[in-house]
């Protein structure tokens, strides 16, 4: 079974931010999934030979003029179908039920009353779900059993087991619907009749095989390692597939955290046996960053210099030999997001997404392009990568460069590195790593505040702790770190890091704040 011939559960994206999350939840239920735009025709959908369809939520009213329509032929393909929120209403409309503006909107936590059915059978009779709708289904299509209702949604769920179709008004994919994953799983296994076989062990095997096929018997490849999870797992997979015909390249741009270079040079190489070239480009980056304070200007300067130093390193790695393939750790969310989904504003330019110059002549090897982050981690573990690499928190390509508010200098990098190391040590000691998605530590280099230490007046810089929980970095909340841990971090940083006399905690969710400060 490979990804190419495994029938996907297709998530039809009606334009809300939830389609990707639904696709992930399907993977968590151990079935392969892909996202397709709502403009996909019945023929295009059929060509993908899907195992089932899930119609996602979306922002529109089904009766609005510009509402994304569901091609009714899609429902005649004989596939199992699950409608969620807008998808539930679109499905109702297409199958002859009634959607009406009841004037009884529901947003957020809502209670539903369960009346039975396969999806909700045995779950608490009244339970919490996450709703977000104006219109509501007032009559289910003929042949469908109504299995739940809420105050604002007389038909909050329905199913027709014989036709392998069902739907819910609420969002089962979000954590605020505590039984949501169970309901989704029941659709997939009991109503659609699918067997959950998508697991890390067989994903790794399949991917190695695919890389072998793509690169062939003699092809050579290079891979830039960033110290992050994705490039490490991609490189490890390709190394398994083609051995020494892969050369890994690591650019030390000086914007790394303490210990990161060693992690790549020692731990990664020890675990994989990969051939690695490290280039020390710290001076070049610092000189390009001199005098630069504006966040996007910093990103551009770092991105441009990165490409140049990477090219120099590649020339060195190639040693006059032909290298045809460039390995990249692109993940499925990048693929979906760059695949066009309309209306996504470019909030920050992420230099490592699509940042290669136009004249690059390599063919891309992207073994992770259909995986989500948690799957990448599982594959990494499967390949024997150490936990320090696999469980690593996301770290931005421009590194500490965008965590120093103000000009980046060597001294400031040293200050931030020391504070960051202390925060990381204490969070790990407190056992909080699992709970925290990432914790940027930020140096407000352009701000000073007055303090007192040992009878001396100080005039130092604040350090900001920005611990967040998140599922995909699109939204985030701040982590309620225990006071004792905060106290330890604060005491250690102010005692051990010269120049820092204040530690503050960022208690802003995303939105409105982004995760990084720049
Ligand atoms: P924001 O700050 O936009 O961050 O909420 C979302 C996620 O993206 C990471 N990030 C970056 N990653 N290059 C990267 O590779 C960048 O320029 C960049 N900016 C932010 C950030 O750490 C978080 O995980």
- Residue 85 catalytic? yes
pLDDT at 56: 95
Minimal-distance CA residue to ligand 1 atom 10: 396
Per the residue annotation, which of 28, 85, 106, 426 is the catalytic one?
A: 85
In this chain, the answer to whether the domains covering 200-390 and 403-505 adopt an identical fold is no
Q: Is 192 annotated as a binding residue?
A: no
Determine whether the annotation assigns residue 7 to a binding site: no
Residue 348: the pLDDT is: 39
pLDDT of residue 343: 30
> What is residue 471's predicted lDDT score, i.e. its pLDDT?
82
- Known binding residue 204? Answer is no
Q: Tokens at residue 430, please?
A: 């407190």
Residue of 408, 401, 295, 397 whose CA lies nearest to 356: 397
**Ligand 1: centre distance to CA 396 (Å):** 5
CA 337 / ligand 1 centre spacing (Å): 14
Residue 516 Cα, ligand 1 centroid: separation in angstroms? 6
For Cα atoms 335, 175, 344, give the angle at the middle one, nearest 5 degrees.
35
Name the catalytic one among 133, 171, 351, 461: 171
* Interval 326-375: pLDDT, tens: 999 999 888 887 763 333 333 333 334 334 445 557 899 999 999 999 89
Q: Report the distance separating Cα 226 and Cα 249, nearest Å.
A: 9
Domain 9-191 has CATH 1.10.1040.10: no
CA of 63 to the centre of ligand 1 (A): 37
- Alpha-carbon span 69 to 75, nearest angstrom: 12
Distance CA 107, CA 197 (A): 35
Which atom number of ligand 1 is nearest to the Cα of residue 353?
Answer: 15
Residues with Cβ < 8 Å from 287, sequence gap 6 or more?
none
* CA Rg value for the chain: 25
Asked if 173 is an active-site residue, the reply is yes
Instruction: Determine contact, residues 112/126, Cβ cutoff 8 Å.
Output: yes
Distances (CA, A) of 427 to 281, 388, 443, 481, 496: 31, 14, 18, 9, 17
Q: 200-390 belongs to which homologous superfamily? A: HUPs (3.40.50.620)
- Nearest by Cα to 130 from 83, 180, 91, 82: 180
**Would you state the CATH architecture of domain 403-505?**
2-Layer Sandwich (3.30)
382 part of the active site: no
Model pLDDT, residue 359: 53
For ligand 1, atom 3: residue with the closest CA: 514
Residue 394 carries which DSSP code?
P
Residues of the chain with pLDDT under 70: 1-5, 339-360
- Cα–Cα distance between 296 and 349 in angstroms, integer? 7
Q: Where are the alpha helices (DSSP H) in 319-386?
A: 332-338, 373-382
User: Which residues are paired to 438 by β-bridges?
Assistant: 468
228 is in an annotated binding site: yes
Predicted local confidence at residue 313, as pLDDT: 87
Ligand 1, atom nearest to 395 Cα = 22
CB 67 within 8 A of CB 60: yes
**Residue 230 marked ligand-binding:** yes
For residue 190, what is the DSSP state?
I
Measured CA to CA, the distance from residue 463 to residue 416 in angstroms comes to 8
Q: Domains of the chain: which residue ranges?
A: 9-191, 200-390, 403-505
End-to-end CA distance of the chain: 43
Secondary structure class of 11 (helix, strand, coil) = strand
Mutate-to-test residue for ligand 1 from 350, 468, 475, highest number of ligand atoms within 8 A of CB:
350
CA nearest 16: which of 32, 31, 38, 34?
Answer: 38
Q: Is the whole model's pTM more than 0.85, yes or no?
A: no
Which residues neighbour 360 within 8 Å (Cβ) at sequence distance 6 or greater?
A: 326
Strands (E), 259-303: 275-280
Q: What does DSSP say about strands 449-453 and 456-465: parallel, antiparallel, or unpaired? A: antiparallel
């Amino acid at each position: 079974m490979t990804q190419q011939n495994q029938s996907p559960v297709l998530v039809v994206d009606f334009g809300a931010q939830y389609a990707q999350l639904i696709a992930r939840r399907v993977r968590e239920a151990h079935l392969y999934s892909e996202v397709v735009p709502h403009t996909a025709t019945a023929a295009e959908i059929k060509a993908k030979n899907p195992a089932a369809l899930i119609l996602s939520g979306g922002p529109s009213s089904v009766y609005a003029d510009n509402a994304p329509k569901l091609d009714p032929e899609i429902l005649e393909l004989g596939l199992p179908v699950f409608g969620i929120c807008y998808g539930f209403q679109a499905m109702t409309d297409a199958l002859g039920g009634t959607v009406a503006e009841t004037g009884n909107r529901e947003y957020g936590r809502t209670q539903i009353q369960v009346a039975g059915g396969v999806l909700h059978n045995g779950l608490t009779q009244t339970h919490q779900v996450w709703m977000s709708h104006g219109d509501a289904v007032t009559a289910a299509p003929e042949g469908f059993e109504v299995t739940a209702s809420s105050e604002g949604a007389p038909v909050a769920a329905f199913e027709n087991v014989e036709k392998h179709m069902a739907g819910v008004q609420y969002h089962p994919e979000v954590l605020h619907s505590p039984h949501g994953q169970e309901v989704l799983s029941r659709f997939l296994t009991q109503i659609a009749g699918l067997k959950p076989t998508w697991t890390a062990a067989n994903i790794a095997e399949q991917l190695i095989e695919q890389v072998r096929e793509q690169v062939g018997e003699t092809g050579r490849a290079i891979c830039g390692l960033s110290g992050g999870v994705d490039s490490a797992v991609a490189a490890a997979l390709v190394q398994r597939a083609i051995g020494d015909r892969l050369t890994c390249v690591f650019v030390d741009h000086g914007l790394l955290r303490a210990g990161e270079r060693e992690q790549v040079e020692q731990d990664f190489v020890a675990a994989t046996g990969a051939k690695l070239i490290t280039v020390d480009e710290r001076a070049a980056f610092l000189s390009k960053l001199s005098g630069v304070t504006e966040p996007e200007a910093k990103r551009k300067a770092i991105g441009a210099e990165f490409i140049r130093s990477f090219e120099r390193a590649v020339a060195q790695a190639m040693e006059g030999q032909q290298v045809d393939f460039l390995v990249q750790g692109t993940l499925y969310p990048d693929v979906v997001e760059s695949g066009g989904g309309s209306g996504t504003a470019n909030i920050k330019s992420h230099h490592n997404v699509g940042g290669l110059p136009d004249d690059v002549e390599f063919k891309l090897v992207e073994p992770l392009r259909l995986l989500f982050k948690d799957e990448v981690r599982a594959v990494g573990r499967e390949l024997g990568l150490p936990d320090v690499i696999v469980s690593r928190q996301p770290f931005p390509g421009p590194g500490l460069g965008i965590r120093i508010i103000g000009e980046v200098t060597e001294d400031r990098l040293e200050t931030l590195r020391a504070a960051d190391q202390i925060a990381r040590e204490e969070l790990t000691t407190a056992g909080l790593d699992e709970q925290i998605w990432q914790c940027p530590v930020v140096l407000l280099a352009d701000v000073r505040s007055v303090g007192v230490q040992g009878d001396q007046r100080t005039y130092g810089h604040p350090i900001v702790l920005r611990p967040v929980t998140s599922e995909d970095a699109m939204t985030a909340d701040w982590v309620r770190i225990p006071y004792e841990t905060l106290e330890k971090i604060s005491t250690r940083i102010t005692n051990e890091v010269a120049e820092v006399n204040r530690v503050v905690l960022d208690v802003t969710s995303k939105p409105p704040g982004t995760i990084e400060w720049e």
